[in-house]
Amino acid sequence: MLDMQAMRDRLETERQQVLEEIAELDRRLEVKPDYSLGAGDPAVYQWEFNLALRQQAQEKLEEIEDALRRLDEGRYGICEKCGGKIEWERLDLLPTTRFCATCAQSKS
């Protein structure tokens, strides 16, 4: 049984965590390293690494917000490709997925 309220709570919690993660990364990214040291310098490497994490977190945030939007619009848990119901087990593992297991496998 798909408990929409529980799923919404879960997504909201995840959203909050990602927002905190982004805020923390933004703080670290404020101080730009000295690029004249070269890309191999640990400070430059760390900064680039944080930037990559920041981009990942941003993508995750967008996926979560997209899922919350689908919940609002009553489209959550419906496969965007075939219109069928997404397996509950799958949503439990991947709360932001937009496709059922069958459609996700046939990437076309």
| Contact residues: Zn ion, CB under 5 A | 79, 81-82, 100, 103
Give the Cα-Cα-Cα angle 78, 81, 84 (nearest 5 degrees).
40
Least distance between Zn ion and beta carbon 102 (Å) = 5
Helical pair 42-72 and 4-29, crossing angle rounded to 10 deg:
150
Least distance between Zn ion and beta carbon 80 (Å) = 8
The residue written with tokens 């917000």 in the block is 65
Which CB atom, from 50 or from 96, has the smaller least distance to Zn ion? Answer: 96
Which CB atom, from 18 or from 103, has the smaller least distance to Zn ion? Answer: 103
Which CB atom, from 43 or from 82, has the smaller least distance to Zn ion? Answer: 82
Element (H, E) at 43: helix 42-72
